[in-house]
Every structure is written in C-alpha cells, then in structure tokens.
Amino acid sequence: MPSALILIADGTEEMEFTITYDTLVRAGVKTVSAYVVEFASSNVGKGSNPPPAKCSRGMKILPDVFFDLSACGPDVYDLIVIPGGAQGAETMSNHPSVQEVIKRYIERNKLVAMICAGSYQIITSSGVHIFTPIQGSLAAKTAVLARQPLTSHPSVKAQLEHDFEYSEESVVVSDNLVTSRGPGTAFPFALTLVELLCGPEKRAEIRVPMVFPPNTPF
C-alpha cells in the first residue's frame, strides 16, 4: 500500500491540507498528518498527542502525530506533502529537520509535493536543486543542465522565476517534485498525486464519485 505524509502547522491553508488528505485516503493511500511546531519550541510537548493546528482561516485540525525526523523519512513514506498558508509554510521552512527530510526524499527519489506558499518557502530554504540534469541523446557521458520546472502561488512568482523554469500550469511534475498554485488547484494537485502513487486507473476510479461539474479540465 502506498503511503503519504502530510505536514501541518499553525497557519496551514485548510483546503490545501484537507483536499489532499481526503483524496489520498479515497485512493487507499495510507495517509498520516504530522504537526510541525516552531523550531524554538520544538522540544515542547514531545511524548504527548499533538494539539489541534489552528489553520489560516481559523479551522482547527487535529494532526495524527508530531513531526519527527526519525519517523518521517523516505524509508517510511513514499510521498511527503507540504501545504501552503504563509504562516504554516514559514514555520516548516524555518525548521532544520523539515529542510533535512525534504533533502532525503529528493535524494531517495521519493515524491515531494508542495502547493501555494509551500513551494516558495520550502524550495528556497531546503536547497532543492535549481538545475536538473537532462541526458542528451548524442553522448551518454554528457549531462545537459536545465532549470528546475515548478509553479507556486502567483504572489511569489517574482521570487522564483529568475532561478527556476516557472510555469502557470495548475500542477507541474518535474521528476519527483510536484508543485501547484493554491486552494483552487488543490483537486488537480491531489489527483495528480494519486496517479503518481497508484496509477491513472485509480485516479479515474475515485474521480467519478467526487462528481466534478461537466467539462472540468482535470
């Protein structure tokens, strides 16, 4: 069974978290939410259940576990998801263990998915590669470097488009990095993750009973 870890913190965007979590569960993905506390207070509360996360619009969501580097790595999960919400994404990007776990997923070729402010905050803090190797057909020994394709919330486009191959598509998949734009793209984002983990047949299977309006383009 595929497995996914979704990070959550105070200030996380509700729709980006809940739509992704719910869609993955519908597909049969073992899904766990991990609460990230501010790094300055990261030793507080360990050993007890995490408190409800107060999200960006005031909704309170009870996480499954505290985020812990030793229990949240790519040896445990196939996918890690970083939702947006400016405050929540900032908390995650400022946490050294979150930065480290993202690097481990990238290095192990496990899926890393970011949406909205999560794309900007985590990418710029965790050292996701600006350039990715593309193998040329003429010489196997030569690697051509191309800028990493991605997207984000439009409000941070200017901070990313210089160093990355910026796209305004709803979802961008580049190797094992998946990025998306905001609450309105949370459904295609989540369905893309289902397809990557479980295949296109599973995506189609769970999409039908969700009853999207006719001609919905995802």
The bridge status of strand 177-180 relative to strand 171-174 is: antiparallel
Residue 165 annotated as catalytic: no
Catalytic residue among 55, 72, 116, 198: 116
Catalytic residue among 14, 16, 90, 198: 16
Determine whether 113 is exposed, middle or buried from the number of CB atoms within 10 Å of its CB (0-12, 13-18, 19+): buried
CA 53, CA 70: separation in Å to the nearest integer?
22
Of 87, 100, 88, the closest CA to residue 33 belongs to 88
The bridge status of strand 165-166 relative to strand 149-150 is: parallel
DSSP 41: G
CA 183, CA 7: separation in Å to the nearest integer?
16
Structure tokens at 102: 């993202």
CB within 8 Å of 27: residues ≥ 6 apart: 194, 197, 198, 202, 203, 206
CA 205, CA 62: separation in Å to the nearest integer?
29
Catalytic residue among 13, 14, 153, 198: 153
Residue 16 annotated as catalytic: yes
Residue 169 annotated as catalytic: no
Hey, which residues are catalytic here? Answer: 16, 116, 153
